[in-house]
Structure 1
């Protein structure tokens, strides 16, 4: 892989961090990008030899400048891993429209911007677009209205793009992790007690949801385990479109893919917020 160049977004922590290390160790020339280079030191300290650069996926000029620099220094771009993202915790009445728009800006429009600008370079070499979505891109989850909406949008975008991109030699894949033990959850900056206090008529449902969700993170995957699946998606021949990162994620996503009338999914997620039966 020594002549293959991969650019990864959102690498300061979590899945992006571990994916950058995994691709570098496997022989990819790895360009690890992040919005704030002040957070780059932990990645430098891995000794993985990654090339760390600034990139804000919500700023088209930043994307263009980063890609221009990569092409100038390496002469090619073989793959993009869209990983940058942000949590958006709340439901329709408790989120502001600014919250919802920001979630779409980072989680959806940022992915579209990077992909759109990278495609001409990927076409030149028969490259790959690999995008980290979520099981929340297949199953909408309570109190994640904006986040799941963005992830659904990403999956629709990529599934529509995939057959067209294949005609010009570019493979497109999505990665669907479940709960992952990374800083992503901490970065959501949710104070459970305050969130419940602010939830108004949804307080009891939110309390039950948080109890269930916080428990699930005690058995979460590591970012490194997800990074291994991203690496598989980058190298699989022929490309595979949809990748789950655990048996649990496969079962969970499979519920949605087989659920023609939606009752299976709503029965599942409704149990997360309903009072238990007497």
Structure 2
């Protein structure tokens, strides 16, 4: 039997990079994709340090032609596709009165429609192998968080899409699951781009934003590593049975579990209101 082939998006840093190296170490032929191949140095160095090989390719999840070309290339070169990890994403902090609808659309394009585009291209090949489709969402796909309206909306959308797709995909032999990290110490946080004077420029929302930023910095100071989060992805790729929803830490499990048990929403509203008070 040929070595199983996994395609992972967003591998230039963070969870994606760690997952690509770990998947190769676990015995997968790993196609590590990223939007800009010029940013692959860290990925190559990590693979070299781990003594593993990666097939590094360009894939821009917001460009359907790029997605189709990459998936077709994987099939042409490897002959199969056994798993996909939708990991590419972008953080965003803001509130709707202070930003444009176009900014919200851009967040949705990367974090939701990018997932949809890759999923659509990959499904026929995953059907052929009885494969697995994993999507890295977030606890922000379960719990709406202050100043993360667009980001959480995109992650909620991805979770709803996958939860709805899962039984349909299972009927043709494809297992679908979501991976929900909490705070992870990675470049993802730096890439959100919150300026030092963001609160001062936020108008009437300034005090609430200042409190939110202070609380969030504390949470990320105690974050798990990308490698720890990636370990859950490898578990999902190799487990005999794939659960639909997997969190990457005890903290994430407690956080997501609080929402799933909060039928009237009061518990979560009380918690998140304290973040900005």
Which TM class, normalised by the smaller chain length? over 0.9
Match of 1:170 among 168, 174, 190: 174
2:202 paired residue number:
199
> Which structure 1 residue ranges, 5 or more long, are not aligned?
none
Q: Aligned partners of 2:150, 2:261: CA distance in 1, in Å?
A: 24
The 2-side partners of 1:262 and 1:41 are apart by 45
Match for residue 160 of structure 1 among 146, 157, 164: 164
The aligned residue for residue 33 of structure 2 is: 33
Counterpart CA distance in 2 for 1:172 and 1:85 is: 18
The CA RMSD measured in Å over matched residues stands at 0.9
Q: Which residue in 1 is equivalent to 2:193?
A: 189
2:120 maps to 1:87: no
Match of 2:4 in 1: 4
Residue in 1 that maps onto 2:14: 14
Matching residue of 2:64: 60
Once the two structures are superposed, what CA deviation does each residue of 1:146-195 show, in whole Å capped at 9, x if it has no partner? Answer: 00000000000000000111111100010000000000011111113x21
Given candidates 246, 250, 267, the residue that maps to 1:264 is 267
Using the size of structure 2 for normalisation, the TM-score is: 0.97
Q: Which of 102, 112, 118 is matched with 1:114 structurally?
A: 118
2:92 maps to 1:73: no
Helix, strand or coil at the partner of 1:271: helix
> TM-score, normalising length from structure 1?
0.97
In the TM superposition, what is the alpha-carbon distance from 1:43 to its structure 2 partner?
1.2
Contact 1:136/1:148 (<8 A) preserved: yes
Cα distance in 1 for partners of 2:72, 2:206 equals 49
| Alpha-carbon contact 1:2-1:29 (below 8 Å) kept | no
Q: Which residue of 1 aligns with 2:276?
A: 273
Q: Distance in 2 between matches of 1:137 and 1:207?
A: 23
8 A Cα contact 1:2 1:27, kept in partner? no
Moved more, 37-46 or 19-28: 37-46
TM-fit CA distance, 1:126: 0.2
SS for the counterpart of 1:196 is: coil
Alpha-carbon separation, structure 2, partners of 1:218 and 1:87:
17
Q: Tell me how far apart the structure 2 counterparts of residues 254 and 232 of structure 1 sit (CA, whole Å).
A: 20
Deviation at 1:238, TM superposition (A): 1.5
Q: Counterpart of 2:24? A: 24
What does the per-residue CA deviation read over 1:49-104, in whole Å, with 9 as the maximum and x for residues that have no partner?
A: 11000000000000000001000000000000000000111011112111100000
Distance in structure 2 (CA, Å) of the matches to 1:54 and 1:217: 30
Report deviation, 1:34: 0.2
Moved over 6 A (4+): none
- Given candidates 251, 254, 257, the residue that maps to 2:254 is 251
Number of equivalent positions:
273
**SS state at 2:275 partner:** coil
Counterpart CA distance in 2 for 1:247 and 1:64 is 37
Gaps of 5+ in 2: none
Q: Distance in 2 between matches of 1:240 and 1:75?
A: 27
- What displacement does 1:2 show? 6.2
Structure 2 partner of 1:223: 226
